[in-house]
Amino acid sequence: MLLAASIPFLNEMVALFVVSVLIAYACYRLKLVPIAGFLLAGVLIGPNALGLVQNQELVDVLAEIGVVLLLFTIGMELGLQKILQSGRQIFLGGGIQVVSSIALVTIALLSFGISWKVGIYTGCLVALSSTAIVLGLLSERRETDSPSGRMSLAILIFQDLAIVVMVLIVPILSHDGGSMVEVLKVMGEALLLIAFVLFAARKIVPWILEQVAHTRRPEMFLLTVVAICFGTAAASSLAGISLALGAFLAGLMVSESRYSTQAISEILPLRTVFNAVFFVSVGMLLDLEFILENKILVLAVAAVVLVVKAATTYWSVTALGYPSRIAIASSLSLAQIGEFSFVLERVGRDAGLSPAGLGEMGAQTFIAATVLLMLLTPFQMQLGSKWGKMLGNRVGKPNSKAKNEPKHPESKPALEDHAIIVGYGPAGKRLVQVLQDRGIPFVVIEMNPVRVKEMEAEGIAVIYGDASRPHVLEEAQVHTAKLCVIVINDPSIAPRLIHQARYQNPTLQIIVRTRHLENMVILQEIGADIVVPEEMETSVRIFSHVLGAYMIPPEEVERQVQIIRAQDYGVVRGSIQEAHLMVLQGLDEDGMHTRAVAVRSGSFAAEKTLEELALRRDHGITVLAVRRDGKMFASPSGQFKVHAADRLVLVGTATDFAKSADLFRTQSELRDLEAHQI
């Protein structure tokens, strides 16, 4: 008989996740950012409130894992080339922000009679911003590669590098150990590690991932990516560098591989779980009783920190020649105290230092102000872009600055009205040839590393990855695609892929190859527009050969083939002929911008008149025709009422279709999107 074993900390973990889910859901209903929900959950379950979780050390370990995974994925998304080309932004922009923050705080505290050593220590605490929160929000809002996002990231990278020096300087300030020799030694080790990362990114890591990818085992690929992530983080820790910075360097190494897209898609689910724990752990530090007793002090300190951080960041960004709109957005994004300041505060405590020299009162005020500013960060970032546009023409002579705005590394060229081909077997190869001959833009998604290498050698745009993963489809720019053609042989992937592609782009036309007739209705119900069964096409081919052997005239053979197809494809929502007419229509400039969009039950477009949809007026899209029950209604009037299962033949640009996507999403899909955007 097996006895149930008790798992240490199980009850605390259950309380952590259950309360986090409940509060995060409440925030979703109230249209608050999820991060705010996790911070509030931490406050509620922490030792200073309900006390459901007492083991702070356990939560801190899980939170550290979350930060490591976040920085690892950010490193992969940005890529080594972009970082190497952003050296000026990192060292000059970040240097100005950190040094000026420390200087302002030190001068302010000196005026109150506080020693310069305590002033520098406190300034170091204030100078750091929250890498986890800022990059997490930028990633959620898809602004990591925006001008303000790149500038914020550059400053955050410098701050993470500066932590190495700060941790060594703090004991020197207290005369409690350390020396400049030790500082130089650790900095030398850090430079050696960075040099190794540059070498490994080009020579070692791509070769390792290449060998693992050839095994075609997803679990082995995931384990390898995780090993690279935590292995590099551990090595950086041994060299005296923060785990987070080491993880970021690991991400840069993987970014140089052709397999980076799939690596990100594997890590994202893990990152989501552990990141939530990080924000909960920060909330657990807050002492509500202390805030209530010292609310004026906490609010005043938070306000001063916000002004200092916003001002120094604004100055550092404009000093590089950026316009005010970018400087304002960056300054509000970084106007908080970071998670690594907690580490620095503990180092100072051990060395006999405290924030502003106020002892325990200073430490508690520092923690309370930090958590408060972290809670405000999502709202500050929402205001940043709005204020940037509104004030950009009034502050800092933006017009003259804009002319000299530094150039950023070029992003991947945008694709519009392109075809996404999933699979590069015989059918995929033939389709690629046709599209190349006609000059139609496309991108291929393939999981076979041999085929990926072959396509890269031929100059074919290809992404290595599982096409059913959201990140892989985003990398293929699914939001502006016209077609998704699924020609893989794995029937288990097609339903997930159709569902995900339809969710991300409801105007996308999806053509799927399947082996058996019985799968056709299932794939249609999931969201496929055209389903081509191999079983039926094989039967048609055999039938043609048999009749040909008996010298039946070709025109009669073709007539019989059409009869068979008409009978057996009757179960399909759209016939092969319809695919030709409505999807590949003309394959000229007009045809590129034409789409046949299925109206699904529960979508906004269902049961609305064309006048109510206002496609032309609000979205620049023209309705050419409506297909219903096999009948075509050409040039319908504004009073024409659209029903579920209708297919609208529309003309517009890829951008227009992307902007109108919500009209064709179901209510549940709209709620899901809202949850990701708030």
DSSP string, 370-390: HHHHHHHHHHHHHHHHHHHHH
Which residue type, as a one-letter code, is found at position 24? A
The span from the CA of 192 to the CA of 190, in Å, is 5
CA distances from 497 to 265, 486, 659 (A): 14, 9, 22
Stretch among 280-284, 502-506, 560-564 having the lowest mean pLDDT? 560-564
Collect all residues with Cβ–Cβ distance below 8 Å to 350 and sequence separation of at least 6.
Answer: none
Q: In terms of domains, do 247 and 370 share one? A: yes
The span from the CA of 456 to the CA of 462, in Å, is 7
Q: In terms of domains, do 616 and 645 share one? A: yes
In a domain? residue 403: no
pLDDT tens per residue, range 161-206: 787 678 767 777 776 555 566 667 766 776 777 777 778 777 788 8
- The number of domains in the chain is 3
pLDDT tens per residue, range 196-218: 777 877 778 888 888 888 887 87
Q: What does the block give as tokens for 182?
A: 């030790």
Residues β-bridged to residue 614: none
pLDDT confidence of residue 535? 60
The residue among 524, 553, 582 that closes a domain is 582
Burial 519-530 (b: 16+ CB within 10 A, else e): bbeebbebbbbb
Sign of the dihedral defined by the CA atoms of residues 598, 603, 607, 613, in that order: negative
Asked if the model's pLDDT at residue 388 lies above 70, the reply is: no
Residue 597 belongs to domain spanning: 589-677
In a domain? residue 529: yes
The residue among 539, 554, 582 that closes a domain is 582
Sign of the dihedral defined by the CA atoms of residues 20, 25, 28, 32, in that order: negative
The span from the CA of 269 to the CA of 279, in Å, is 16
Rg (CA), the chain: 29
In a domain? residue 33: no
Locus of tokens 């109150």: 112
Q: In terms of domains, do 574 and 622 share one? A: no
List, as one string, the DSSP characters of 50-99: T-S---HHHHHHHHHHHHHHHHHHHHHHH-HHHHHTTHHIIIIIHHHHHH
Which residue type, as a one-letter code, is found at position 189? E
Contact 162, 190 (CB under 8 A): no
Asked if the model's pLDDT at residue 97 lies above 90, the reply is: yes
Q: In terms of domains, do 338 and 357 share one? A: yes
The span from the CA of 454 to the CA of 426, in Å, is 14
Q: In terms of domains, do 457 and 604 share one? A: no
In a domain? residue 53: no
Which residue type, as a one-letter code, is found at position 18? V
pLDDT confidence of residue 105? 92
- The three-class DSSP label of residue 540 is helix
Q: In terms of domains, do 223 and 143 share one? A: yes
Q: In terms of domains, do 377 and 512 share one? A: no
Asked if the model's pLDDT at residue 104 lies above 90, the reply is: yes
pLDDT band for position 106 (cuts 50, 70, 90): very high
Q: In terms of domains, do 368 and 456 share one? A: no
Among 194, 232, 213, 259, which residue's Cα sits nearest to residue 72?
Answer: 232
List, as one string, the DSSP characters of 19-55: HHHHHHHHHHHTT--HHHHHHHHHHHHSTTTT-S---
Q: In terms of domains, do 233 and 181 share one? A: yes
pLDDT confidence of residue 573? 39
Pairing of strands 530-533, 594-598: unpaired
* pTM assigned to the model: 0.66
- Provide the 8-state DSSP code for 560: H
